[in-house]
Each structure stands twice: as C-alpha cells, then as structure tokens.
Amino acid sequence: MELMTSKYTIDLVDRHVAAIRKLCKVCCNGFLLKHLEALVDLLHLAVERFAQGQDLAQALCDFTRVASQPFVSCKTSDMITYGHHLPAFIKGLVSVLSYTLPPTATAGLEQRKAMFERLRIEVAHTLACWARFGLDEDSVELLPNQPLIQAVADSGTPNLRILRQSNVMDAVSASFRSEDSPESIVITLGAIRDMSLYRPLACQITNCGLISNLVHVIRVNLLGSDVLLVAAEVLWNVLELDWDGATEALGQEEVIESFRDFMNAVLTRGYRFKDKIFRNDMMVLLMYISKRVENRTLFASTGLMALLLSYAVSEARRKELLQSGVLERCLQEVRVLPDLGDGAKASKGIPLTNTQEDMEFRTLLWGTLARCCSSEPCAEAAVQFGFVESLLDCLDAEAPPEKWSQEQRRQVQLEALSSLFQLVQYVPDAFMEAQGNAMVLQLLQATRSREVQKKCLHLLQVAVRMGPHFAENLGQLGAVGTLVELFTDKDNPMTSRQMCASVLATMCKEYPENAREFRKKDGVEAMRDEVVYRPGETTDNHLFYSLCVVDCVWNSVVGTRKNEIRFLDAGGLFALLDCLEVAPMILKRQIIGCLADLMEYKKASEKRGKEVKGFESNCCEAAKLFTQWNSQVTMKGALRLLLELWQCEQQAAGNLSPDGVIRDLEQPLNPRAPPTLALGELIDDGDSTVTSTSRLAGKFRHAKNFADTAGTGNTNAGTTNGTTATVTSLSRTRRAKIYAVLKCIGFECQETLSIAERQQMELVKLYPMAVELEMWIKVQESLAIRGIKPVSADRQWIEDCVTERKDQAAWVQNIQKKLAEERQREEEASLERFYKDLRGRAQIQRMPQPPGARDTLPLSFSQF
C-alpha cells in the first residue's frame, strides 16, 4: 500500500504489478483472514488505478486467482473477527467487471481485449468457486428428513449469504449481457447456476433482468453447445424459488415465441439423447410458466399451443389431421412451418417412443396442455386437435398398445386420467361427445391397479357434477351397479369406497332412475351397514368416510319411498341415531339434516296422488321407530338426545342463564352480544351430559382469548363479531333441523324428562315464533338505521307483531322460571334429606350401648 500511495513511487506501475504478483505468489494457497481489511483496501486501490488506464490487468488476474481459494485462519476466531469484511471484498472484486467489458476496439487493441477477457474469466471462476464451496451435506445443517436442496434454498451456505450481501448479481448481469467469450459465458453460467440454488439470490436474478439473457443464450446455442442445458437449469431453479417474479418475467409474448421456436426445433430435429433432455427441461419450464393464469392465453396466441398439441395427440389422430390438412393449416397460421421450409416434413416430426425420456415428456406435455385449457382460446385449440379423444384412447382396456410394458401402460393411464380430470372441467361437452364416461367406467371395471381405480373415481367424482346429462349418461351405462359393487368390497381402500359413496350421492340426487337402480343393486343395505362412526378401528380418516356415507343416504334413500321403506326395515334409522350420539359436531349436523328430511318428506308426497298413503304410513313408521330408540350407552331416548343438542346450541349462543332461563326476550335464540358471564358459565358448567359441550366451550375460550390479545380494540371487535356471526349462523341451522325432527314426531315424550330438558322443550315449541320475533326486531333496527319512518298503519302492524311474539316469549320464560324454582326446591329438599340422614347416623353413634351388643348394632357412618 505504501508503494502504491507514496508520492515517490506512485507512478511506478511496473513495481506495483510486481509487488501484487509477489504477494499472490506468497499466498498462493489462500489469503489470511487477518489481512482481509488490508486486502480490501489494496483491491479497491488497484481497481481504481486500473479504471484510470494503468496496466494492472495481469496483477488483478493473479489476485483474483488466489481469491478463489478458501481464506486461511490463524485462529478459530478469525472468521468472527474479520468475516464482516468479506462482502466488501467480493464487491470490490466484481467491480472490475464494469471496466473489462469487450471494447469496440480496432485491431491494435487485440492484446488488451484478450487480457480483459482473461480477467473476466478469472473473476467468473472465483465467483463460481465461492458459490460452489459448501454445497454438501457435511457443510449444511439439515433438519430431520430435509433434503439438501431444500436446506440450501432456505438458509443457503455461508458463501452464498456473503454473495447476497455483496449484491454481486447486478455486476454479473451487466457483464453477462455484453459477454462474447464462450469460455467466460460457460464459467459465468456455472456460477449463476450455483447461486440460483439460494432463494434470495434467485430473486436477485429475476430482478436484475438476467432471465431474458438466459433465453438468448439458449437461442444462440440451440441444438449446439451444452451450455443451453446449464441456462435451462438456471431458469428451472429460478422458477422453483421465485415463481411469482420469474413467471411474470417470462410471461412476455417474445419470450413465449422463443420457447415456441425452441420446441419446434427440438421436436423436429432433436434426435440426440441430450436434445431430448433439453426438450424435457423446456417442458418443465413451460409447466411452471403455465401455472400463472395470465400466461396461458399467450400459449394460443403465439402458436405454442398448436405446436404442442400436434405432438400430444395419438398417432392415429395425428394421421387424420395430416390427411385432412388441419394440422398443416394450423401450424402455418401460427408461423411455425415456414421457418423450416418443408411443411410436410416439419409437420411429421420425430415420433415419441416408449423410452424413459419420451414417457417423461408425455407426462409433462399432457399436464401442461390440460392446465392451459382453462383459457378459452387454448380450449378451442385442444378440441380442434382432438386432445380429449387422444387421452381417452390411452384408457382403452380392450386394445392395449403393444409398444408399452405393463408398468408403462399403468403410468400412461394415470397421467391421462390426471389430465382428463382438468379437461372435463374446462371442456365438458368434448368429454361427453368422446364417450368419456363409458371409457372411464370401462377402465374402472377392468383395472386391477388401486392407483388407476382411485384416479378413475376421482375423475367421475368431478365429472358427475358438470351437468345433469353426466349423471343420466352414467346411469344408462350401469355405473350405479359398478359403484355399489366397489363400495361393498371391503378389500378396497377406504378412500376409494368413500369416493364411490360420493359419486353415488351425486348420481342419485334428483335422478329417480338412478335411485331406483341403487335399490335394485342392494345399495340401500350396503349403505346402512356403513352408517357407523368407529374411528378407532382404522388408521384412515373415518370422519370423511362417514360424511360421504350419510350424504349418500340423504340423496339416494331419502325422498324415494321404496328406498326409505327398505332403509327403515334394515334398521337404518337406529343406525343413524347410534351414530348421532357419538359423532363429532360436523357429522351430527349432517345426520340431523338427514333425519329431518326423512321425517318430513311426506309433505312432498302430497303432490303424487296414489303414493300419498304409502308415504304417510312410511313417515309414521319412521316417527314410531324414532320414539322407540334407546341409547345402548346411556339408555336415553332420541328425543332427549336432541334436547341435549339443542341445549348445547343455546349455551353456545350464550342465551341461557345458570338456571336455564332465556336471557333476552327480544332475541330468545341469538342474543346480540353474549355477556362475558355467559361464556364463563358455559365453560364452567359441569352439569351437562353432552360430551361435546366441553370441547365447544374450549373453542369459545380460545377464540375469546385470541380476540382479547390480538390487535387493537377495533380489530378485537371485528374478530369477535365475525366469530359470533359464524357460530350464530351454524347454530341457527342446527336448531332449525332439530325443531323439524321434533315437530314431525311430536313434542310428547314417553320417558320422564329432567327439569332442564323440560325447560328446553318449552323453547323448542316456541322456535317458529322466536325466529319471527328476531326478524321483526331486525326490521325495526334496519328502518331506524336507514332513517325510514313507516306510515302509522305499518308501524302499528310491526309493533303488534313484535308485542304478540314477545308476550309468547315471556310466557315461555315464566314457565322456565317456575321449572327453575321447582328444581331449586327439589335440590333443597334433597340436601335437607341428606343432612337429616347424617344427623340421624351421628345421633345413633353417640347413644350408649350395653356391653356385648356392639356386634349387633349397624355400622356407623364413619365405618362406611
């Protein structure tokens, strides 16, 4: 430093170069960390002199070459002491790139140009060494079961974090844009590839605009140097780690056109193995790009969709398109064929085989095209090329292609079903016209693979919801019998049987023909046997399975007279009530709704003339069976079980006092703001025998604590109000269903009700009037908020309606108070009898006893 800054030697450039090169020779195995601060100053000074025109290029080359070696520590604490200078060191090192750009030079500057190129290569090599160092399992801390690539992406390595702090990507991208040296491009791409493994550096690659330069590198080296594979790998890493920014940057028309040209060239001329690797890498990039919805229309407008579809369809379909001229015309419209001159040769392309690379290409191609069909132009192109028909041909179980092995055939079927799952939602008419239901159902019956079976059921599950003609068509094809057979086979996984029940429920909903077929195939008995909730008997999610079974009963049994009769004769009602007692709340709500419709369906039968009598007898039979049911656990009747659920809902709404009396006469069901005391009573109440009450109280306590501690007062109020509104809406729905069931069976109970249950029964009877009262109160409040004054007649009518219903609520409240007083008297009398018995036992114990008579006396209270 003194040599370069002294006024006597400042102009001796040769000596400066010699000194720096001697320093590099002494430290050829790496600089010392304790010299790092001085090295930063020396580097900045050398770069500054180099920028002024001094010939320090050779010295900087040697310096950069040594900098690529790991720094040497004299003490274990050197990295902690001097490590904070490393970002400045790297920043100074890459700053030389801005002064070594390829000059617009004449022949006389060739030597200097070569030296600049050598210096850029050395800097790129140093960055590559820095980025690559530490990318192994021994240097990266891994969490349990965490892949190395994921750990590097999340936390990086020490060197990658230093490179991030030094912001080297801006200087590297500026140099890379104007780089013309093949060797420098390859080394720089290697450094960028390693840096792109770290998420913050991947974001910097996107932000500095380097993606367009990578696309240009691929275009220049298309089907040539292997450098395009490295550029594709960098794009792949950036798309994985910075999907939002990268897909937006790649979502430009000129970029998609470049990808179209890449795919056109590799699909028509890429015979080599590495060409197929590059082709698959391009499809991976297109898959990531297509996940951004805004990019999908560009696939159609640039012609990329038509080009890919021409290779996605089957060979038979492709020949038809060639013979009809549709394929050549579509490719010419999007300016693909003229690039190669011979249209017939270009449209023929390289056929896909059964090799691993081509199988992988099919998977990526089908998935990307199916996803793009959410865009209308892409969907129109897919229909025109017969993409759906080609995928359905792969499902043909009767004519398996000879060129595929059994495992490859299974994999092709899985991928085709996955693509059809999306296509049936985007182009349902094309799926129906191609006899898609028949092909999928045929494969479902013929396959022995559990994975293929599950995919088929998944596809049918979404297809049957696409319109009424799908359910009708499946019914005509005999899908009901097939699904019932699969459902009754206990060897099938629970997830497959669950999807069978879901498809059957949708098929039988509003389709009497399918419901009739369901009964003929013994589906009613099969569903009745599965109306249980025993999660301990399986490791699968039994709750979802039970929900699908109850939903199937609701849609395929309830509403069809003969199905209901057979379900009741098979003990279905008792099974529903047994399940209702032990099920979680979400399943309880489903079962109560099913019971309500099962009890009330006689009202719909009044429009059917001759069937009225049969329906009424059916509903009377259901009500009779409902009153006959008793719990095998607690021996409670069904009515008491529903009353306990009602009481649980009232407690959740916070509208019950400790003695079971209505709190708010104007809002007997859903009070405006449940008091804090009610919540505390709900949590501390130990008298309820409903097991779900304590869990519900815990949820309310958690919600209240969160609302008290999160955010400001306004946020608290908003959170509490939102939670209360949600719970109120759910409670209102459940209570309406409970009232509908009790109204059908009658409010008289054959067994003795407790006082708390009698209190709730009085409110259940009031339910319709209570709902009307709350609605009238809301009307009054809404009018007051809007400042609307109704005419005197309307105002009087509203007030009379409110008064009438409040009087009825007050009458119910008085009955509940009397019952509460009766319960208090009974408790006092019970306590009095208890204490009287204690006093009597104590008096007997204090009485004197004659000798020898001790053994004849009864045991004292203390001896019990």
Q: Using N-to-C axis directions, what is the helix angle for 243-250 and 199-207, rounded to 10°?
A: 30
- The torsion angles phi and psi of 662, rounded to 5 degrees, stand at -60, 135
636 and 582 Cβ atoms separated by less than 8 Å = no
Residue 716: other Cβ atoms inside 10 A: 16
Dump pLDDT digits (tens) for 12-67: 778 888 888 888 888 888 888 888 888 888 888 888 888 887 778 888 888 888 88
Label residue 356 exposed, middle or buried (CB < 10 Å: 0-12, 13-18, 19+).
exposed
3-state secondary structure of 72: strand
Indicate if the pLDDT at residue 759 is higher than 60: yes
Length of the chain: 864
Give long-range contacts, CB 8 A cutoff, 24+ apart: 218-225.
218/258, 218/262, 219/258, 219/261, 219/262, 222/261, 222/262, 222/265, 222/266, 223/265, 223/266, 223/269, 223/270, 223/275, 225/182
| Secondary structure (3-state) at 662 | strand
Q: Average pLDDT, stretch 573-594?
A: 90
Rounded to whole angstroms, how far apart are CA atoms 420 and 413? 10
CA angle 120-124-130, nearest 5°? 145
**Amino acid 176: pLDDT:** 85
Report residue 712 CA to chain centroid gap.
31
Most confident segment among 19-23, 223-227, 243-247, 688-692? 243-247
5-19, 114-128, 514-528 — which is least confidently predicted?
Answer: 5-19
Quick one: pLDDT at residue 709?
Answer: 39
* pLDDT band at residue 192 under the 50/70/90 scheme: very high
Tokens of 346: 């270009």
In the chain, pLDDT over 70 holds for what percent of residues? Answer: 84
pLDDT over 80 (residue 366): yes
3-state secondary structure of 637: strand
Q: Express each pLDDT in 652-690 by its tens digit.
A: 777 777 877 877 878 888 777 644 444 334 333 434 333
pLDDT value at position 235?
A: 92
- Highest mean pLDDT (candidates 16-25, 287-296, 795-804): 287-296
Banded model confidence at residue 555, pLDDT cuts 50, 70, 90: very high
pLDDT of residue 35: 87
CB 130 within 8 A of CB 159: yes
Least confident of 130-144, 160-174, 240-254: 130-144
Delineate the domains of the chain, giving CATH numbers in brackets. Answer: 464-629 (1.25.10.10), 641-837 (no CATH)
The rounded mean pLDDT for the chain is 81
**Residue 342 has what pLDDT?**
44
Residue 278 has pLDDT above 50, yes or no: yes
pLDDT in tens, 628-648: 888 888 888 888 888 888 888
pLDDT at residue 400, rounded to an integer: 59
- Model pLDDT for residues 106-117, shown as the tens digit of each residue: 444 676 778 888
Highest mean pLDDT among 433-437, 601-605, 668-672, 754-758: 433-437
Question: 673, 664 in Cβ contact below 8 A?
Answer: no
Q: Evaluate whether 308 touches 263 at the Cβ level (below 8 Å).
A: yes
The number of helix segments (H) and strand segments (E) in the chain equals 47, 0
Q: What is the pLDDT of residues 469-483, one digit of tens each?
A: 999 999 999 999 999
Q: Please check the confidence at residue 722 and state whether its pLDDT lies above 70.
A: no
Using the predicted structure, report yes or no on whether residue 505 has a pLDDT greater than 60.
Answer: yes
Quote the percentage of the chain above a pLDDT of 90: 29
Q: What is the pLDDT of residue 379?
A: 94
Whether the CB-CB separation of 351 and 282 falls below 8 Å is answered with: no
DSSP 539: S
Q: Which residues pair with 662 in a beta bridge?
A: 656
**Lowest pLDDT segment from 236-245, 354-363, 757-766:** 757-766
Residue 862 clears pLDDT 60, i.e. is over it: no
Q: Are 301 and 253 in contact (CB under 8 A)?
A: yes
Q: Which two tokens stand for residue 800?
A: 């009379």
pLDDT tens-digit map of 559-574: 888 999 999 899 999 9
pLDDT the model gives residue 506:
93
Sign of the CA dihedral 312, 318, 322, 326?
negative
- DSSP-assigned states of every residue in 682-751: HHH------HHHHHHHHHHHHHHHHHHHSS-HHHHHHHHHHHHHHHHHHHHHHHHHHHHHHHHH-S--SS
CA-based nearest residue to 125, from 66, 187, 170: 187
Q: Is the pLDDT of residue 294 over 90?
A: yes
State pLDDT tens for residues 731-744: 566 788 888 888 88
Higher pLDDT, 653 or 394: 394
Helix, strand or coil, per DSSP, at residue 436: helix
Q: Give the pLDDT band of residue 80 (cuts 50, 70, 90).
A: confident
User: What is the pLDDT averaged over residues 242-256?
Assistant: 92
- Give the pLDDT band (50/70/90) at residue 339: very low
**Contact present, 51 and 45 (Cβ < 8 Å):** no
pLDDT at position 206: 92
Predicted confidence band at 457 (pLDDT cuts at 50, 70, 90)? very high
Q: How far apart are the C-alpha atoms of 776 and 798, rounded to whole Å?
A: 7
pLDDT of the residue at 335:
57
Could you tell me the CA-to-CA distances from 172 to 114, 125, 163, 243, 428 in Å, in that order? 19, 12, 11, 22, 50
- Count CB-CB contacts under 10 A for residue 607: 8
Measuring CA to CA, which residue among 123, 125, 149, 124 is closest to residue 135? 149
User: How far apart are the C-alpha atoms of 504 and 480, rounded to whole Å?
Assistant: 7
